[in-house]
Structure 1
Amino acid sequence: MSPIKDLALVYEAPNEAGIFSGGEIVTGSVSFTLTKDTKVKSFKVKVKGEARVHWTDNTGDKRRSHNAHRKYFKDKEYLIAENPKDTELSKGVHSYKFKLKIPEGDWPSAFSGFHGKIIYTLEAWISRSWRMPAYVQKELKFVTKYFPVPDQIMCPQTGSVSKEMSKGDVQMSATVDRRSCSPGETLSITAHISNMSSKNVAPKVSIQERIHYHAITSSKHSDLSVSKVVGNTIKPNSVENVSCQLKVPEKAYTVHNCEIISVQYYVKVYLDISFTIDPAVTFPLVIVPAGVASHTVGPHPAGAVGAPSYSDFPTPAAPTLPAATGPYGYPTLDPMQHGAMISGYNNAYPQSVASYGFSSAVYPPSVVQPQAPYAPPLFQHEQQPPSYISMFQPPSSNKSDEH
């Protein structure tokens, strides 16, 4: 039985949110109790960042595993240096302070998914000759300082789509009020819908999370709805203006700077029509933690007009926008006129059209929503993501020097 008891690791949070970034110092202490005098080979504390992906494919009787691993940094401090002769510690309570630095760098934000993790940990190891080491670990909240945030954050994005049907057609133009936001903030979405078909249509808006996992020989992806609202049904041969507010999930962050895991978000505005492929307009969305906007780098998301759509419809012509311009030279949009729709509809919204809101039904992150044909195939989570221990096994005592 090990004489090392109550091994505890405590660190000081750098801010109220407890979030670390590159270049910051991690300070704290490690304490433990010895039930008897004990010889220790070494005692060290380290902070490290790494990413790992893993999944298994089954093809007939064959089973193939896919793996990838990236190490970002490691800093360690010896509280008891390793010597040829072990250090003997007396029975009782022991406490040691430490100070480690996270190197400056464009490290990706922490992330946990079903097939992989980007994780930052603080660890303490007590090694003894011919014995298993005593080990304790704490996971750190880490967010990068660098995001590909567009300059025109508050400028709207506008797009349109048309769907021809056997009896009449359906047209929609939609606008999202910004290109970038922070977790917990609210997006405003408006849409003008012309339903000249014989079917009912239901407007829906969702924030989609698209995750890509990359291994050496393969890749895997998923497309999940992390927030959603549903509008009132629009009857056949009618025109409506609809609007809604959609809250961004509290723990959502864009991950753009990891080679083996990427996390992207987009707003999807679509019409639910029975027995047909749903017409949709999508808008890229960069989700940035509050307070890091001054450290942004990288390319801008797609332009505001005619944002890319992952539907099966051809890219519509750019909407006709009012001539007036606002900040950054972006056209000023009248709240009742977001631009023309294709198929010849280019009039302002009728003044007699009533405005319909969306219901506040919010879908949990685990619900996988319908996917447009050109988007990556859906992946339904059937179980909880694997634990840290199952993906990042601590090394055995005979390899502790490598860590």
Structure 2
Amino acid sequence: MLICVKNFTVGYNPLNKSNTFSSGDYLMGQVTFELTNECEVQSLFVKLKGKAQVSWTENYGKTIVTYQSKEKYFSIKQFVIQESMGKNVLSPGCHVYPFTFQIPVQDLPSSFKGSCGKILYTVEANLNRSMRMDSKAKAEFTLIQKTNHDPSPQQNMIDKKMKVFSTGSVAMDVSIAKTGFCQGEGIRVMASIQNKSSRDIKPKYCLYRKYSYFANKKRKVETKDILKEEGEAIPHSAGQTVTRIITVPSTVTTSILNCNIIKVEYRLRVGKPIYLHFYFHIVILTPETSFLIKQQGRTRSGLYQDMRTKPQFNQTQN
């Protein structure tokens, strides 16, 4: 009778309500499959992997050039059924094999998927049988970087004669209180504007996203405006200090600044486009990151303590 492996799957247990992981966390899961009859296997192993990769093409006349690059973060292999000189014979029925990995404690970038690249974290299972094709399964999991940002204020000042106007000049002093923000949080922008020109001025605000992909000493950039807003008019020959709250949409992804081949950045542009404007670097954090920042100076031992108790396991990195 033909040996048949059915419903070969690999899964993991959620660590928190958002079903995300970070470096140092323990990922626990199980490999599950059914056997229709007795089966001899050579080995069963699970791999925990993290990598980034980019790929895009550019046209140079009739020539098409492909740019590609990869970055490997870790590959950890754990045998559930060890290879041996003897026979590993499994009986018919359902089989469940648990496993536990610790995600390496290193500066790992957050999961990401874009048009030209991705940062992936996966757990993969492989059942090897003699003279048979391997049974394979894979599950992706979301990893979020937990790194504090630089909370120092940013301030830009500019005094520029605006050629678009017939006469006069405009001076602006703009500042934001911090650089790191969560989804849904407001960016408080303070602007002191001295309008000595002959026309009214409406300050404009634009939050935009910048994706950068790197390969073979080339860079591909994609930008997208996230939101645009316009302030009240500042009368000519007048000065005002205005405050604007720019709310970060809840749909934006987190910033990625610690990957060599993919970067996700955000900028806040304030002022009059082309003639008078300047930029602030904005770091988009996760709610978990914001919580950890608020807890600085306190012990972290209580965070998910029941789920982060160190289990016993063996793993090898290759």
TM-score, normalization by structure 2? 0.78
Residue 291 of structure 1 aligns to a residue whose secondary structure is helix
- Deviations along 1:355-391, one digit per CA (max 9) or x if unpaired, are xxxxxxxxxxxxxxxxxxxxxxxxxxxxxxxxxxxxx
**1:15 Cα deviation (Å)?**
2.9
Provide the alpha-carbon RMSD of the alignment: 3.0
Return 261-270 or 239-248, whichever deviates more.
Answer: 239-248
The answer to whether the 8 Å contact 2:46/2:77 transfers is yes
- Deviations along 1:186-214, one digit per CA (max 9) or x if unpaired, are 21113244455566644322323222211
Equivalent AA in structure 2 for residue 61 of structure 1: K
> Who is 2:214 aligned against?
214
**1:85 Cα deviation (Å)?**
6.2
Equivalent AA in structure 1 for residue 190 of structure 2: T
- Deviations along 1:139-191, one digit per CA (max 9) or x if unpaired, are 222123334x22xx2x5432233351241344433222212223332211132
- Deviations along 1:203-253, one digit per CA (max 9) or x if unpaired, are 322323222211123221223223433334556666554432222344532
> Who is 1:118 aligned against?
119
Residue 74 of structure 2 aligns to a residue whose secondary structure is strand
> Who is 1:354 aligned against?
none
Alpha-carbon distance in structure 2 between the residues aligned to 1:54 and 1:4: 35
Residue 290 of structure 1 aligns to a residue whose secondary structure is helix
Return 166-175 or 256-265, whichever deviates more.
Answer: 166-175
**1:64 Cα deviation (Å)?**
0.7
Residue 133 of structure 2 aligns to a residue whose secondary structure is coil
Equivalent AA in structure 1 for residue 247 of structure 2: K
The answer to whether the 8 Å contact 2:3/2:37 transfers is no
The answer to whether the 8 Å contact 1:40/1:127 transfers is yes
Alpha-carbon distance in structure 2 between the residues aligned to 1:132 and 1:244: 62
> Who is 1:157 aligned against?
154
**1:127 Cα deviation (Å)?**
2.7
Residue 244 of structure 2 aligns to a residue whose secondary structure is strand
The answer to whether the 8 Å contact 1:76/1:100 transfers is no
**1:94 Cα deviation (Å)?**
1.1
Count of residue correspondences: 290
The answer to whether the 8 Å contact 2:3/2:38 transfers is no
Alpha-carbon distance in structure 1 between the residues aligned to 2:265 and 2:61: 33
Question: Which structure has the highest strand share of the two?
Answer: 2
Equivalent AA in structure 1 for residue 166 of structure 2: K
> Who is 1:98 aligned against?
99
Equivalent AA in structure 1 for residue 155 of structure 2: T
> Who is 2:185 aligned against?
185
CA 1:35–1:266 in 2, change beyond 3 Å: closer, same or farther? same
The answer to whether the 8 Å contact 1:46/1:100 transfers is no
- Pairing 1:343-354 to 2, within 5 Å after superposition: none
Q: 1:284 aligns with which of 277, 281, 284?
A: 281
Q: For structure 1, which runs of at least 5 residues remain unmatched after alignment?
A: 297-402
> Who is 1:379 aligned against?
none
Residue 203 of structure 2 aligns to a residue whose secondary structure is strand
Residue 101 of structure 2 aligns to a residue whose secondary structure is strand
TM-score, normalization by structure 1? 0.63
Alpha-carbon distance in structure 1 between the residues aligned to 2:12 and 2:110: 20
Alpha-carbon distance in structure 1 between the residues aligned to 2:36 and 2:161: 75
Alpha-carbon distance in structure 1 between the residues aligned to 2:76 and 2:295: 24
- Deviations along 1:93-145, one digit per CA (max 9) or x if unpaired, are 11111111212212222222221111111122223334433222222221233
> Who is 2:22 aligned against?
21
Return 130-139 or 287-296, whichever deviates more.
Answer: 287-296
CA 1:279–1:130 in 2, change beyond 3 Å: closer, same or farther? farther
CA 1:236–1:5 in 2, change beyond 3 Å: closer, same or farther? farther
> Who is 2:166 aligned against?
167
Residue 32 of structure 1 aligns to a residue whose secondary structure is strand
The answer to whether the 8 Å contact 1:146/1:295 transfers is no
Equivalent AA in structure 2 for residue 210 of structure 1: K
Alpha-carbon distance in structure 2 between the residues aligned to 1:102 and 1:240: 52
- Pairing 1:387-402 to 2, within 5 Å after superposition: none
- Deviations along 1:66-115, one digit per CA (max 9) or x if unpaired, are 11111111212211223456633332211111111212212222222221
Return 205-214 or 241-250, whichever deviates more.
Answer: 241-250
Structure 1 consecutive aligned stretches of length 4 or more whose deviation exceeds 6 Å: none
CA 1:267–1:28 in 2, change beyond 3 Å: closer, same or farther? same
- Pairing 1:2-401 to 2, within 5 Å after superposition: 3-83=4-84, 87-147=88-148, 149-150=149-150, 153=151, 156-161=153-158, 162-165=160-163, 166-168=165-167, 169-197=169-197, 201-232=201-232, 240-250=240-250, 251-272=252-273, 277-288=274-285, 289-293=289-293
The answer to whether the 8 Å contact 2:162/2:275 transfers is no
Equivalent AA in structure 1 for residue 88 of structure 2: T
Equivalent AA in structure 1 for residue 108 of structure 2: W
CA 1:200–1:102 in 2, change beyond 3 Å: closer, same or farther? same
CA 1:131–1:60 in 2, change beyond 3 Å: closer, same or farther? farther
Equivalent AA in structure 2 for residue 137 of structure 1: K
